[in-house]
């Protein structure tokens, strides 16, 4: 009976963690890979892994950190495994199709998501962490185990590239 209660408590936590964080986990993978089915698969695997390691989770904050770390690793692994995107210098990234003006374009969000998806994997993940999760550079640096200066550099260069591409298309508020 005691064992059952203990298991129930853990299971309730797990269910709560799934409900509270499934959007975060799925979205991190989706915005990185730009593939809904694959992102769902990876999100499932992340939570399966969480289920196996649930005893190691010390707090809700720890769970969030753990989930972010694992989904980042899995998503990057998937990219490398399938060679989903050739490594291209930022300046040479091809332009996806874009609409003509910000005010009349209902698909600006989709344009931006696709532009993000064409970035090399490291700056891509930095950008997703920054703008999906609203993490500051120091938090991103800790999560991705990357020097703070490198994180800032990726952010600056990626934003500059996006601005340039959008401005070329006549989209923007400059």
Partner 1 sequence: MDWLEKELAKALERKEPSPDFAAKLTARIESEAPRRSRLFHFPRWMPAAAAFVMLATSGSLAWRRHQGMVAKEQVMLAMRITAGKLNHVQAHVREAQQ
Partner 2 sequence: MRSVGVLLLAALMPLSAQQFKFNLENLEKKASDTVDVSLSGSTLQFAAKFLDGKDPEEAKVKKLMSGIVGIYVKSFQFKAEGTWSQADLEGIRKQLHEPEWSRIVGVKSSEDRENTEVFVRTENKKIAGVAVISAEAKQLTVVNIVGDVDLESLADLSGHFGLPKLEAVPPKKSKR
Interaction site with partner 1 (CB under 8 A): 3-4, 7-8, 11-12, 14-16, 18-19, 22-24, 26-27, 30-31, 39-40, 43-44, 47-48, 51, 99, 104-110, 112-113, 116, 127-128, 131-132, 134, 159, 162-163, 166, 172-173
CB of 105 to partner 1, least distance (A): 7
The DSSP output letter for 55 is G
Q: Torsion angle of alpha carbons 144, 148, 153, 155, nearest 10°?
A: 60
Closest CA to 30 of 131, 151, 119, 128: 128
Is residue 94 at the binding interface for partner 2, with CB under 8 A as the rule? Answer: yes
**C-alpha to C-alpha distance for 74 and 44, rounded to whole angstroms:** 11
Residues 98-137 that bind partner 2 (CB under 8 A): 100, 103-104, 106, 110, 114, 117
In degrees and rounded to multiples of 5, residue 99 shows phi and psi of -80, 175
User: Which one, 103 or 134, has the nearer CB to partner 2?
Assistant: 103
Our CB check for partner 2 shows the closer of 33 and 144 to be 33
Extract the tokens encoding 60.
């809700």
Query: Can you tell me the distance from the alpha carbon of 151 to that of 36, in angstroms, rounded to the nearest whole number?
Result: 26
**Of residues 8, 12, 16, 36, which one binds partner 2 by CB under 8 A?**
36
Q: How far apart are CA 135 and CA 113, in angstroms?
A: 18
Binding site for partner 2 (CB under 8 A): 34-36, 94, 96-97, 100, 103-104, 106, 110, 114, 117
């Amino acid at each position: 009976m005691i064992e059952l209660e203990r298991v129930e408590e853990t299971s309730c936590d797990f269910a709560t963690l799934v409900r509270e964080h499934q959007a975060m986990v799925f979205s991190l993978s989706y915005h990185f890979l730009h593939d809904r089915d694959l992102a769902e698969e990876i999100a499932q695997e992340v939570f399966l892994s969480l289920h196996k390691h649930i005893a190691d989770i010390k707090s809700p904050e720890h769970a969030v950190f753990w989930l972010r770390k694992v989904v980042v690793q899995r998503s990057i692994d998937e990219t490398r495994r399938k060679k989903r995107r050739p490594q291209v210098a930022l300046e040479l990234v091809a332009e996806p199709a874009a609409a003509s003006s910000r005010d009349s374009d209902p698909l600006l969000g989709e344009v931006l998501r696709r532009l993000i998806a064409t970035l090399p994997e490291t700056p891509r993940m930095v950008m997703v962490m920054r703008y999906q999760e609203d993490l500051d550079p120091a938090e991103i640096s800790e999560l991705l185990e990357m020097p703070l200066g490198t994180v800032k550099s990726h952010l600056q260069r990626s934003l500059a590239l996006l601005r340039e591409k959008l401005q070329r298309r006549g989209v923007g508020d400059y």
